[in-house]
Amino acid sequence: MAEGRVPLPAQRQAGIRAVAFDLDGTLIDSRLDFAAIRRELDFPPGRGLLEHIATLQDPAAVARAHAVIERHEMAGAEAAQWMPGAERLLDRLVAAGMPMAILTRNMRAAADLACRSLGIPVELVLTREDCRPKPDPDGLLEICRRLSVAPARLVYVGDFVYDLQTARAAGAVSCLYRYGDNGRYAVDADWVVDHLGELAGLLGVDLSGGHRGRAS
C-alpha cells in the first residue's frame, strides 16, 4: 500500500467505488440568493430557474435571464467558501484514492472559478454546459462512464431534491447533506448525513490525517 493511503474497508463492504458531489450548498457556500434572482427576473417561486427559462418565447428575455443568472453565479463563485468539513473530507478521499467528480447546474466559468480559488481537488467537473441539467441523470451517467464505475457503485451527495432525483434516475446511491430546512428531502434519500464528516465514516475513510498543503 502506498505511503499515506487510507484503507477503505467499509467502502468495499458497501460496494461504493466512487463519489460525486453537488457543488453549491454541498462543497461550497456561494451564498446564492435564488429568491433575489427570481425577484429580479420576475420569475415565479417553486420552479427551477433553468426550467422557467425554457418556457420563455422572447429571445431577448431568454438572453437577459441568462445574463442575470450568470452575474449572480460569478459573484457567488468569487465569494465562495468551503462548507463545514468539506475540505477535510476531500483531502482524505484523495489520500484514499477514491475517484471523485462534481455535477452542478452552475455555469462552467463559475464552477471553474470556485474550484480554482478554493483549490478543490476534483478534476472531473460537469456543468450545465456539459450535459442536460439535473434532475436529468445525463450528467451522472456520464460521470459513471468516465470513471468506469457502475451507477449502483457511485454515491451522489447533494443538499437539494434535484440531487436525490438525479441519483435515483441514474440508478446511483443518493446522499442528502441535511442542514437548515432541507430535512424534508430526507425521505427521498438512501443516505442522510448532518455533517460531511459522517460521509467519511460511511465510506470507511479516516479523517484524522492532516490537510494537504497549497501554494499561497
**Spatial CA neighbour of 21 closest among 108, 179, 143:** 143
Q: Is the pLDDT of residue 4 over 80?
A: no
pTM equals 0.82
Share of the chain above pLDDT 70, in %: 90
Query: How does pLDDT run across 30-50, given as a tens digit for each residue?
Result: 887 777 888 878 888 877 787
Share of the chain above pLDDT 90, in %: 62
Phi/psi at 96 (5° precision) = -80, -10
Query: Topology of domain 12-29+81-203, per CATH?
Result: Rossmann fold (3.40.50)
As a whole number of angstroms, the distance between CA 177 and CA 179 comes to 7
> What residues does CATH 3.40.50.1000 cover in the chain?
12-29+81-203
Query: How does pLDDT run across 74-90, given as a tens digit for each residue?
Result: 888 889 999 999 999 99
pLDDT-derived band at 51, boundaries 50, 70, 90:
confident
Contact indicator for 20, 143 with CB cutoff of 8 Å: yes
Average pLDDT, rounded, for the chain: 86
DSSP assignment, residue 17?
-
